[in-house]
Structure formats: C-alpha cells, structure tokens
Chain A
C-alpha cells in the first residue's frame, strides 16, 4: 500500500513540477523543474516494476539530456521575452482551449478504457526481473529495433555536428 501512496505523491510532484516547467519565466528554472518531473517519474517506474527504465530515466534523461538543455540555455544566455502581441494571445487562447479539449478527450478515453488483455508475453519470462526481461527481449525479438536505434543516434550526431558547428 505504501508504494501506492508513494506513487501518488510522486505523481502529484510530477504534475506540479510539470506545471512549474511551463509557467516558469526563466528557462533554467523550467529545466530544473523538468528534471524534478523526470525523477518523480523514475520513482513511478520503480513502483511499476521497471527498475531498468527508472535507472536510465535518471541517467539518460534527467542526467544527460537535461544537462544538455541547461547547458544550451546557459550558453545562449537566454532571457525570457516579455513583449506580447494581441494577435498571438488570441491564437494562444484558442490553443489553450484546444489543448484542454484534447486533454478532456484523452481523459474520457482513459476513463472509459477497458483493458481486455491481461496475460502478456511477460509470462514467458516468469521469475525474471524486469531488467533481465529487457535484456532478453532486446536481444531477441527487439534486436533489429535495438540496432536501428544506433542509426537514429548517428543521425542525431551528424545533425548536431553539422548544424551547431559554428566555424567551417
């Protein structure tokens, strides 16, 4: 039961900091809030028996990716722009309404969704913990995606190099 409460707490934390992310004036604070969200999610992953995911969530996401964000924010020395134009705020208002509508739809979906299948393939790996399972699956059924991810990363690297390189 305690896990449930922890889960609640961290979920709430995630939501609060998510809101903080989008409402912070300073991008650095936003980034920091996002890190909190990610860590809170990592806790949830733990509770959902996904230890490995929780780990890389912290390492890759909260660690590497967000650091990159903060680094760029600092590098560019970005300050929040305050100027506002009338036309845009109308557009934004419309956008807000729409995203709320979208959210309502999603929540309706989630509320009325019924999970029919309860016996997934995980049963094949009965007794293993999730990390092992991930390892098993990743190098059997998900071998090709796993390899292909490397190409995604290569493309990312090329992109970063090509675009961000300032002097030829």
Chain B
C-alpha cells in the first residue's frame, strides 16, 4: 500500500479543518481546492497501486471540473464582495431560521 493514501487523507482532513475554522470565504474555498487535490492524490495513488488508468482519468477530469468550479466560486465571491464589501462568512446570515 502506498503511503500517499495517508497523505491524501491527511490533506483532506486539513482541508476540512480549514473550512471549519476559517471565516474568510476565499480561504475556505482554497480549502476545498485542497480537498480536491487530496482526492486527486488518492486517485493517482490508487491508479498506481491498482495499475489502473481510471484513477488518472479522474485526476484529469477533476482538475477540469475544479477549474470551472473556481471560476464560478470566485465569481460568486466577487458578487458577494460587491454587495456586502466583505468576504467574512459570519457576516452572511440574512437567511436563517
């Protein structure tokens, strides 16, 4: 078993942790990227381990998807910033209850 699996899992955990503790939307978004990266790492590791090309496909496609995701995400962040002049998550709770 390749140890990169553990690395992937630790990175995923760090991403989760970051999402939980940070209030800056952009940083949280970065954490999501971190999580996607870690998943990529796991895919590639498994691909290596299983001698299977599918993991690589996933890594490739996830990257593309992540790119689109970043585009949309940053656009939303820009929109929020434009309306509220903040990227603090805690400021965003008009919708509740």
Q: Mark A residues whose CB is within 8 Å of B.
A: 7-8, 11, 14-15, 18-19, 21-22, 24, 27, 30-31, 34, 37-38, 41, 44-45, 48-50, 52-53, 56-57, 60-61, 64-65, 68-69, 72-73, 75-76, 78, 80-81, 85, 88, 92, 95-96, 98-100, 102-103, 106-107, 110, 113, 115, 117-123, 125, 130, 133-134, 136-138, 142, 145-146, 149, 152-153, 155-157, 159-164, 166
Contact = CB atoms under 8 A, between A and B. Distances in A.
A60 B3 contact: no
Interface in B1-46: 1-7, 9-18, 20-24, 26-27, 29-31, 33-34, 37, 40-41, 44-45
Majority DSSP secondary structure for residues of B touching A = helix
Contacts, number: 244
Given A30-B27, A38-B37, A159-B71, A85 B90 contact: yes
Contacts of B6: 107, 110
Contacts of B45: 48
B74 to A, nearest CB: 5
The 7 closest A-B pairs by CB, nearest first: A156-B68, A120-B52, A22-B18, A95-B20, A103-B13, A163-B75, A164-B75
